Amino acid sequence: MHDLRFVRENMDLIKDMLIKRQMDPGSVDGFYELDFKRRELLKDIEELKARRNKANDEVVRLKKSGEPALEFMTSLKEVSAKIKSLEPDLAEVEEKEKNLLKNIPNLVHPSVPIGPESAQVEERKVGGNPTFAFPALHHYELGEKLGLLDFPRAAKIAGARFAVLFGELAKLNRAIISFMLDLHTKKHGYKECWPPALVNSGALYGTGQLPKFAEDLFKVEGRDLWLIPTAEVPVTNLFRDETLEASSLPISLCAYTPCFRSEAGAAGKDTRGLIRMHQFDKVELVKFTYPDDSMYELEKLTADAQDVLAELELPYRVISLASGDLGFSSTKTYDLEVWLPIDQVYREISSCSSFTDFQARRANIRYKEKGKSSFLHTLNGSGLAVGRTLAAILENYQEEDGSVKIPRVLVPYMDGTEKILPQVKRN
């Protein structure tokens, strides 16, 4: 969220940002009228309160001296009534202005490519894409052929876009999670945490999911609780309404959580397999950093996420998102895209973003230095999305006999198992 004074004094910059994001700059045209009306009402109420206080003091003085105070008492009642009549108007204008501010996205960093999604820039490409001398299968076909991936039974108990993993495939999923957490904590220096998977509205507002993206979330009926769309939400809000010591920065946290998204508006997109699920696993990286260091920390966080793909020996590329494709809270985002050989496409497996002080303002997270407190900067990125990693391993590591080779770094997590073999047909 932007500072009110900043928006007031930089409306041309705000409108330029909206144009860069392919949004309507006219959406903020009502700001000045609301802001003027709010300040005028506030001024009127403050003046009336001053008159009320003066009249009240005069009534007290006259009563003490035994003089008649009826005139001032009448004036006091009139002023109080006027204040009472104006306060709802002020509250209404303040709420409208606050809602307008809530829906202004973050500024675009100068290094971001300007334009629609197609203006994105490929920063680098790593690894050779495998070729097969046999009819290779999609990950979902391979998982079903192995007898270890079951969509119909998941649909029976939960509906579409859920999956059940069995046996070695479930173990491989767990191995991927453990490997990612170990890599980030032991090699990259993150501190592991285990946050709730349910959060309140304040947490979702703090990271920018509410109010704009409510339809993408699952809400608990009758409670102010929502299933998390990503661990970014609970982990970022761990320090909500807190002031940290500057010497403690950067704070780097990682967390594995299940994640839940309604995928509103995603009909027809990646409906087969593990790419776009209502429930999925993810290891998330979150940083709280000193403002001057946030762009450096973004590069470092992105490198940490890339390292997972490098260790798994999966082909991937890094994309700098264009301004029109940036998330609401992000000032700059790198997408990591893993190669899926059957469709011959790269698919997003991580988004690594800097939010500058945008989330920190919404969540009121500050740091203190030399007696002065300021908003810190937040960053996050997937390290990585587990289901998509599993899909990429199945497709890239499949062999002609229908088996799947286990990436070398995961073999110890699989108790030495080097291949997943087709299973005996289950009932």
Please give the model's pTM, rounded to 2 decimal places: 0.91
Query: Which residues of the chain fall below pLDDT 70?
Result: 69, 264-271, 424-427
C-alpha–C-alpha distance, residues 38 and 41, integer Å = 5
Q: Which residue among 261, 347, 362, 366 is the active-site one?
A: 261
Per the annotation, the verdict on 348 as an active-site residue is yes
pLDDT of residue 270: 62
Residue in 21, 52, 362, 388 annotated catalytic:
388
Sheet-wide strand order for 365-369: 242-245, 365-369, 372-375
Residue 362 a catalytic site member: no
- Residue 242: strand pairing partners: 365
Domain boundaries, the chain: 4-102, 117-420
**Main-chain dihedrals φ then ψ at residue 116, nearest 5 degrees:** -75, -175
Residue 391: count of CB within 10 angstroms of its CB: 24
Q: Tokens in use for 302?
A: 């992105």
Q: What is the pLDDT of residue 367?
A: 98
Cβ contact 201:231 at 8 Å = no
Residue matched to tokens 């997003």? 348
**388 is a catalytic site residue:** yes
pLDDT digits (tens, 9 = 90+) for 285-298: 999 999 999 999 99
Q: Is 174 a catalytic residue?
A: no
State the catalytic residue, choosing from 51, 276, 317, 361.
276
Architecture, CATH, for domain 117-420? 2-Layer Sandwich (3.30)
Greatest alpha-carbon pair distance for the chain in Å reads 108
Per-residue pLDDT reduced to its tens digit, 153-199 = 999 999 999 999 999 999 999 999 999 999 999 999 999 999 999 99
351 is catalytic: yes
> pLDDT at position 206, please?
95
Superfamily classification of domain 4-102: Serine-tRNA synthetase, tRNA binding domain (1.10.287.40)
Tell me which of 78, 94, 263, 348 is the catalytic residue: 348
